[in-house]
Amino acid sequence: MYVIHRFITKKCILAIKISTLQFIYNTGIQFISFILKITAFFNTKIKLGVEGRRKTFKVLEEHINIPHRTFWFHCASLGEYEQGLPVFEKLRARYKTHKIVLSFFSPSGYEIRKNSPIADVVVYLPLDTKKNASRFLNIIKPELAIFVKYDIWPNYLDALNNNSVRTILISAAFRNDQIYFKPYGSMFRKALFTFEHIFTQNEYSKTLLKSIGYNNTTVSGDTRFDRVSNQLKIDNSLQFIEEFLNQKMCIVVGSSWPEDEALFVNFINSKKNNDVKYIVAPHNIKTSQINNFKSKLDTEVILYSEKDTKALKEYSVLIIDTIGLLSKIYSYAHIAYVGGAMGTTGLHNTLEPAVFGIPILIGKNHQKFPEAQSLIDNGGMFAVENQNEFDTILTKLIENDNFRTISGSKNAAYINKYKGAVIQIINYLRI
């Protein structure tokens, strides 16, 4: 009797804790909603999200009706979309009569992929309240919901579970400092248990899930390996790039931030190497930021938007002041630098250039990106702490053909080794 009493007591305490957390969480969501509406008056990006979420239910009601069989794909932002795309494409091709709803939380995902051909409807995900979750699911009535990597919303997942909807998490990557693995994370652990199956990127994530009692896992790897591998199957040629390069060595700087660009300003201004050309694709294409970068370069610089007005081959630096071209531009690179890790904004996609078999440089703050450490350990990527390290390794890669070729080939081999996550997921999802 004592054992039974203790068991019931523990269950009651756990229920109270979860209930308290739910109250705090739901109150917090309401507060965030209020703050976002106020902040939207001063921030264009937040305004896009607030206005977009306001239209979501109307858009869904116009495009989805009861006879439709529906899949729901959710991504936090653009990176998660690119990660999930190989799976989405397979399901789109296999289930042609189904309607597909694609949702984003971030404007940086929605605004760029709002016309995605893999979906019938693309919307902003309304904030995670019980009312929104219930209304959202009552409209789309999905047979299957796929979440990518993270953006795990407890109320939506609880509603999916209550409606017996198959719900899968793909390309998941967990760290032990996340709330799911903390003593106060019971509500969020409960959300994880609503997933029918979780496909993880690595064994460590599976081990963390096992430590909290979740066992429906498969280490499938990262679907981005399949995504970037598909880049090799398409035509990546860009005539204006070929005109600019004029058969000279090409260094591509992808998704750069000011901290990254500062390294190149100093390097380019000090080297004056006419046999090397630089293509810079900034993460932020605001005119003021690009002009600031351009003004610091002591060499001939041309913007993508000027390409039809001047002789491209006469310039040393080409700045891509548009979006959507970087994946193809990497195919022309002899060396790539991927931005975000010199500062604290977060490292951008290193697999995109790696698939083309070229060496890669990144900044020092890459600890939250396991694939980056793997590429470094594998010998194809180099993390730099400061200008001196940057100058040293970049100079060696430029001047030593053998070192550059061997380093790059290690990246291509790494990508080839770890692709194949998509087929595992699709085989599991047979509907």
Residues 88 and 205 in one domain: yes
Could you tell me whether strands 217-219 and 197-200 are parallel, antiparallel, or unpaired per DSSP bridges?
A: parallel
For residue 148, give the H/E element and its range. strand 142-148
Give pLDDT, residue 3: 30
Among candidate residues 165, 189, 221, the one where a domain is terminated: 221
How does residue 332 score in pLDDT terms, banded at 50, 70 and 90?
Answer: very high
pLDDT, one tens digit per residue, over 44-71 is: 889 999 999 999 999 999 998 877 799 9
Does 397 score more than 70 pLDDT? yes
Asked whether residue 61 is domain-assigned, the answer is: yes
Asked whether residue 25 is domain-assigned, the answer is: no
Mean pLDDT (whole number) for 242-270: 96
Does 417 score more than 50 pLDDT? yes
SS3 96: coil
User: Active site includes 371?
Assistant: no
Does 16 score more than 50 pLDDT? no
Q: Which of 51, 61, 62, 80 is catalytic?
A: 80
Does 101 score more than 70 pLDDT? yes
Asked whether residue 226 is domain-assigned, the answer is: no
Cβ contacts of 134 within 8 Å, gap of 6 or more: 159
Edge-to-edge order in the sheet of strand 142-148: 121-124, 99-104, 70-75, 142-148, 166-172, 197-200, 217-219
Does 13 score more than 80 pLDDT? no
pLDDT, one tens digit per residue, over 150-207 is: 889 999 999 999 999 999 999 999 999 999 999 989 999 999 999 999 999 999 999 9
SS3 7: helix
Residues 255 and 192 in one domain: no
Cβ contacts of 95 within 8 Å, gap of 6 or more: 69, 71, 431
Does 6 score more than 60 pLDDT? no
Residues 98 and 171 in one domain: yes
Does 344 score more than 80 pLDDT? yes
Residues 290 and 327 in one domain: yes
End-to-end CA distance of the chain: 46
Does 277 score more than 50 pLDDT? yes
Give pLDDT, residue 8: 32
Give pLDDT, residue 150: 85
How does residue 238 score in pLDDT terms, banded at 50, 70 and 90?
Answer: very high
Residues 190 and 78 in one domain: yes
Residues 250 and 310 in one domain: yes
The residue type found at 153 is: W
How does residue 388 score in pLDDT terms, banded at 50, 70 and 90?
Answer: very high
Domain that holds residue 57: 42-221
Asked whether residue 204 is domain-assigned, the answer is: yes
**At 241, which CATH number?**
3.40.50.2000
- Rounded Cα–Cα distance for residues 25 and 240 (Å): 51
Does 18 score more than 80 pLDDT? no
How does residue 108 score in pLDDT terms, banded at 50, 70 and 90?
Answer: confident
Residues 67 and 170 in one domain: yes
- Rounded Cα–Cα distance for residues 22 and 29 (Å): 10
Does 10 score more than 60 pLDDT? no
Asked whether residue 258 is domain-assigned, the answer is: yes
pTM over 0.75: yes
- Least confident piece of the model among 5-9, 163-167, 236-240: 5-9
Residues 243 and 211 in one domain: no
Does 237 score more than 80 pLDDT? yes
Q: How many domains does the chain fold into?
A: 2
Two tokens at 349?
């996609």
Look up residue 166 and give its DSSP letter.
Answer: E
**At 46, which CATH number?**
3.40.50.11720
- Higher pLDDT: 422 or 150? It is 422
Among candidate residues 194, 221, 248, the one where a domain is terminated: 221
pLDDT, one tens digit per residue, over 287-301 is: 999 999 999 999 999
Asked whether residue 401 is domain-assigned, the answer is: yes
How does residue 309 score in pLDDT terms, banded at 50, 70 and 90?
Answer: confident
Residues 174 and 61 in one domain: yes
Among candidate residues 192, 221, 250, the one where a domain is terminated: 221
**For the chain, what is the largest distance between any 2 Cα atoms, rounded to a whole number of angstroms?**
88
